[in-house]
């Protein structure tokens, strides 16, 4: 760590990385921002109780959090927050992201609580980099006069804070407890860095002292940032172990998969449940890099409903773990590769699934939209698109929906078209309001091609009632996908969105899972379980626009356009025919 931590003499305060242990939240404020409900349920009030400083904001995505909005605003300068709280002992969380400077040392500051310096020389960029969330917790703050004061003072440039949360410390927990306060719901994904709280020999065993990676948590487990987003556990040695408290929804057989990496030698581990080895030794070879991730099948495990303790036990050195995931192997026997599991840290109930494993398309769910848009009152589909959509360009084979894009002439009463493709919608058959959508698809590439998975409202007009684009790709940028919303005053080229870029390869090489989590007042986008963009009601309304996504249910659309105002026309480099393949479409409500 480059930021020093100071314990104030005589007051017993200590600072650590990460959120406080669970307790009653007595105060939470979104610095320089409006009222906000975080992913963990904390209700942050609009900025108040401050003295001094200046408000500022950013619109960039924030890494390492599902609460981008919380970290996009900040108060900077020399300032303080004075909060009335009952007398007692508290943990004070400082939430911050460096959204301005892009180098270590450009901003350094101190934080004091009730006049005692608790964090010195804090350099957020040195700890987590640019546009990334950091939480520092000052523990054991005793209040005896009904007022808690948190002050920020500048060493270099300006001190800053994005949010403050004050949690009632209560009694020291006896033994071990789940990280974050709640057992991890299974089936679902458990992040390796979210092992239980309790310390060495209780929640984990690590053979070296200190956190070698210097990220996320302040104990002896070695944690670093992961290229897949979030963090991973690394520097693993034989006989080290991590424990996780889980809560299983129902009796059943569950498939266990782990996400691991090793530069060369591979790794070996086993998994225990309540002290019993349930997998035997699981080995894997080198993956070519410490951040070159692969998924390893650890077999099937019988679990009973209720709370259990899962231990991941290392039998070899030289490997990293990102997460492990239990999926239900019972029921209909359906398998959903690359299922993001408990996306957004939540458990989900599936309300729709189409795995395209029948002999033909399910026309009770999907309807073709054909032609070039004239029959729908929008010639060129409103974007000067050049394709003619036809039922002949889509079919089901090998448990995939295939949409084929061809260079061929077709004519109707409105004109002649040089390209054909397919477009399917659930309009009139299925719509929903709020939840999660997953498309697992292999896309297309080349100039002029425009694959998309998106949603429109069941009622109203465009763009006044909104559009949610789960995934769009323009073929001349085959390694980038876009997540976007359109609404009144922010449609077309003025839409609001974010991008996701592959580190290597293109989206036509393999299947990827494109997801949206849609809640009242907030929408989040993911690729392969990695969060890359969030838009909120506050974001939209702060630009003088109207939020259009809480008034109607929406229905699903999948298509691949050719030409149009955004991608432009195909040229001599464009290959035909090409196939967009969709493995599954799933919709969930929060459990």
- Peptide linkage before 171 cis (omega within 30 of 0): no
Beta carbons of 389 and 564 less than 8 angstroms apart: no
Rounded Cα gap, residues 487 and 549, in angstroms: 9
Q: Is 504 exposed, middle or buried (0-12, 13-18, 19+ CB in 10 A)?
A: exposed
CA-nearest of 140, 114, 126 to 15 is 140
Tell me, yes or no, if 472 is annotated catalytic. yes
Q: Cβ atoms within 10 A of the Cβ of 330, count?
A: 12
| Residue 183 DSSP one-character state | P
- Give the CA angle between residues 349, 226, 452 to the nearest 5°: 55
3-state secondary structure 222-253: CEEECCCCCEEECCCCCCCEEEEEEEECCCEE
Task: Report DSSP state, residue 124.
Answer: H
Pairing of strands 43-46, 25-30: parallel
Instruction: For 487, list phi and psi in degrees, rounded to 5.
Output: -160, -170
- SS3 per residue for 384-445: CECEEECHHHEEEECCEEEEEEEEEEEEECCEEEEEEECEEECCCCCCECCEEEEEEEECCC
Residue 289 backbone phi and psi in degrees, to 5: 180, 155
- Exactly one of 240, 404, 467, 538 is catalytic; name it: 467
Cα dihedral 375/378/381/386 (nearest 10): 80
Catalytic residue among 224, 325, 386, 472: 472
**Can you spell out the DSSP letters for 249-269?**
SSSEEEEEEEEEEESSS-EEE
Active site members: 467, 472
């Amino acid at each position: 760590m480059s930021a020093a931590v100071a314990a104030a003499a005589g007051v017993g305060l200590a600072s650590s990385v990460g959120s406080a242990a669970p307790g009653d939240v007595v105060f939470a404020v979104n610095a320089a921002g409006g009222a906000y409900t975080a992913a963990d349920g904390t209700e942050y009030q609009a900025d108040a109780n401050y003295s001094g400083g200046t408000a500022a904001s950013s619109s960039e995505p924030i890494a390492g959090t599902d609460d981008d909005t919380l970290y996009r605003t900040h108060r900077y300068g020399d300032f303080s927050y004075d909060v009335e709280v009952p007398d007692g002992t508290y943990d004070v969380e400082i939430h911050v992201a460096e959204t301005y400077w892009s180098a270590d040392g450009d901003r350094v500051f101190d934080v004091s609580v009730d006049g005692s310096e608790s964090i010195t020389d804090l350099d957020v960029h040195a700890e987590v980099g640019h546009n990334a969330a950091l939480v520092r917790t000052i523990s054991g703050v005793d209040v005896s006069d009904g007022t808690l004061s948190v002050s920020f003072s500048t060493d270099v440039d300006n001190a800053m804070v994005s949010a403050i949360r004050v949690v009632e410390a209560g009694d020291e927990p006896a033994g071990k407890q789940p990280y974050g306060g709640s057992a991890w719901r299974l089936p679902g994904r458990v992040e390796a860095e979210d092992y239980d709280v309790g310390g060495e020999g209780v929640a984990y065993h690590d053979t070296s002292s200190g956190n070698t990676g210097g990220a996320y948590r302040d104990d002896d487990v070695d944690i670093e940032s992961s290229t897949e987003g979030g963090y991973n556990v690394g520097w693993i040695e034989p006989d080290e172990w991590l424990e996780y408290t889980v809560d299983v929804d129902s009796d059943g057989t569950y498939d266990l998969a782990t996400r691991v990496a090793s530069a060369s030698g591979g790794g070996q581990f086993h998994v225990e449940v309540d002290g019993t080895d349930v997998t035997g030794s699981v080995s894997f070879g080198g993956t070519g890099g410490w951040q070159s991730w692969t998924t390893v099948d650890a077999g099937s495990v019988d679990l009973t409903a209720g709370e259990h303790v899962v231990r991941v036990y290392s039998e070899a050195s030289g490997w990293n773990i990102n997460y492990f995931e239990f999926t239900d192997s019972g029921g209909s026997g359906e398998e959903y590769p690359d299922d993001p599991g408990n996306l957004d840290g939540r458990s989900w109930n599936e309300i729709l699934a189409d795995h395209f494993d029948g002999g033909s398309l399910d026309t009770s769910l999907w309807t073709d939209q054909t032609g070039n848009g004239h029959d729908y009152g929008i010639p060129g589909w409103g974007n000067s698109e050049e394709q003619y959509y036809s039922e002949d360009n889509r079919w089901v084979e090998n448990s995939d929906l295939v949409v084929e894009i061809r260079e061929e002439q077709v004519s109707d009463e409105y004109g002649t078209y040089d390209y054909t493709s397919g477009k399917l919608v659930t309009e009139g058959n299925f719509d929903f309001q709020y939840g999660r959508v997953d498309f697992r698809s292999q896309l297309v590439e080349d100039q002029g091609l425009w694959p998309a998975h998106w949603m429109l409202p069941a009622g109203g007009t465009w763009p006044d009632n909104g559009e949610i684009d789960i995934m769009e790709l323009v073929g001349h940028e085959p390694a980038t996908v876009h997540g976007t919303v359109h609404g009144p005053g922010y449609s077309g080229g003025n839409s609001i969105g974010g991008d996701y870029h592959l580190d290597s390869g293109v989206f036509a090489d393999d299947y990827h899972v494109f997801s949206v989590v849609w809640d009242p007042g907030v929408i989040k986008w993911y690729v392969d379980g990695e969060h890359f963009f969030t838009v909120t009601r506050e974001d939209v309304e702060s630009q003088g626009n109207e939020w259009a996504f809480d008034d109607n249910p929406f229905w699903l659309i999948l298509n691949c356009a050719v030409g149009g105002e955004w991608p432009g026309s195909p040229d001599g480099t464009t290959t035909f025919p090409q196939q967009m393949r969709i493995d599954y479409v799933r919709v969930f409500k929060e459990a």
